[in-house]
A and B are shown apart, each in its own frame.
Chain A
Amino acid sequence: MENKDDILEVRNLTINFKTYAGKVQAIRDISFDLKKGETLAIVGESGSGKSVTTRSIMGLNAPNAEIAGGSIKFKDEEILDKNEKQLSKLRGKSIAEIFQDPMTSLDPTMKVGKQVAEPLRIHQGMSKEKAMEKALEIMKLVGITNAKERINDYPYQFSGGMRQRIVIAIALVNYPQVLIADEPTTALDVTIQAKILHLMKELQTKINTSIIFITHDLGVVAGMADRVAVMYAGKIVEYGTVDEIFYNAKHPYTWGLLGSMPTLDTDADVLPSIPGTPPDLLEPPVGDAFAARNKYALKIDTLKQPPFFKVSNTHYAATWLLDDRAPKVTPPADIVKRQEHFKATHNN
């Protein structure tokens, strides 16, 4: 580990998928850290590589995935060197995942109590009775009402929100050090979503786990994340603390994302949108992959991939606009407003 505060370090990870059409370059040289006890949000459009990244941390990528380079270190262990047997010792114990759809991630033919107890039986070799006792405890912790009576119910007897609580209980039952939450509330209604997010935050402090939170909902990110990484076309294009990304974003793609989500105050006649569609990762463009959709693009964007420019000790963005030689541009009005707010509140 390069830094003792880190629990997970990803370096230069590159993943391709072999398909009939050719090689899809899903992850193109990404690096990031996860610190102990923090929540890191990864945001971006579908196909930007968010889920592929986390799936490779779990060793769960599809058989046609090919890890072309890089490393994923969990504490001092290299995950990419592990075989299936070693990985399954890690999964559900030290690293756990909450999946998106509570309707499909539970076994419909198994009583929920048994499903919650299963990771305890497998990883800690607990007796049936003891595991069920512990399962009941964690079901109470995630807020299942009448947990004692409901422990022998089947998933179909629960509502979507309650099912997602059970999925969370399964993920947390072994007190994992890293929790991956892949769009955990996207399938839920807003009122239920608010409760689940609140619960996740509470449990995080209780068992001191680090969370990687994947979502495309920037509202959820604003409420959950300590730090944010923005992904586009298989690359991280900007990362920083939640305040730096929301109030002082530097990459035009981040500007576009922030702008295209109306807030309750938006009354513009035309919603700012990002024109076009993401590039084909069978043949990623040379230079900055976002250039074709970027009205601030410079000539060099089509020629050379921008490196990360340092904005602060915690904030980096990969855009040529931050180069000393680049012309000064004015971001969209709503971003300027956010940046002014940042200057006023973070005067350093």
Chain B
Amino acid sequence: MTSIAKPRIEKHLLRNKLGLTLRDYEGGMSTLCAGCGHDSVTAALVRAFYELDLEPHTAAKVSGIGCSSKTTAYFLGQSHGVNAVHGRMPSIATGAAAANGNLHYVGVSGDGDSLSIGLGQFCHAIRRNLNMLYVVENNGVYGLTKGQFSAAADYGSKSKRGEPNPHTPIDPVKLALTLGATFVARSFSGDKEQLVPLIKAAVMHKGFALIDVISPCVTFNDHAGSTKSYAHTYEYYHRAVHTDYIQPSEEIKAEYKKGEVMEVELHDGSVIALKKVDDDLNPRDRGEVLAYLSHHEAQSEVVTGLLYIDEEKQDMNARNKLPPAPLNTLPYERLSPGAATLADLQKAYC
């Protein structure tokens, strides 16, 4: 646990297009264990928002309960945040997004929060294509209650005391694919190079964007025999898709060979460039992605990258025909039908 406050020396820091430094996107001090994967995800979120040139207060953070859920206090200190009850962050995000769809909703959850107590809400937020970034910081274990297996723990993966997990896991990525999610990615807290552009793309995607981040628990699940340890993840790491996020004003600078890159244009005009490692993966075809995942998982591989994207499906607010002006800004005059209408409509009740 870090206990020394960071000095604010901003003079020499780089500034983004808004003139803000990375520090403007940071939050409170982390109280997680030193070396926790979650702190790397927090840093990637800070970097992504900084690079997106977004005003910090246009984001709203939501989370549930658990180590991962605590992290919303550690980034975007100038944004509102809700640390809700266990597993119920998606419902808070749903109501908040309905009230104002113009904010960037960032949900941070864990495998305990999302795949057990919150599995229902997680699934239904996907069904509704709620416009938010939903990060699952996945370590296969309950940290705050000291090391119980989570529903994401792999079959046979060993606990710190050496007991193998007797149950089959719930895989948020495959689950999201079957539920019709419109942006499905997996990454690793130790791969910032991959994670930052993924977060940027997910924030700008109009719809539910899941990033399942393998984020090892150094205290309870980083031992030999665990399939969610740093060592295991590095050993079986498989980058299936390389993702670049290009903002609307930017030119595509990277050198891509024709045919090997798939460009996906997002609603705001930005572009995601997907460079596949393998030919047998089509991020536009759910069935293919599921087959690809099954094939590589059989070899214990951790498949990462932006695995599936669909920019066509309407998000929840569009499905509900919500106006561009947020509901929370509508003046009362537009909401009340007035006294004359009340008198008139009651004729049907006489």
Q: Do A and B bind each other?
A: no
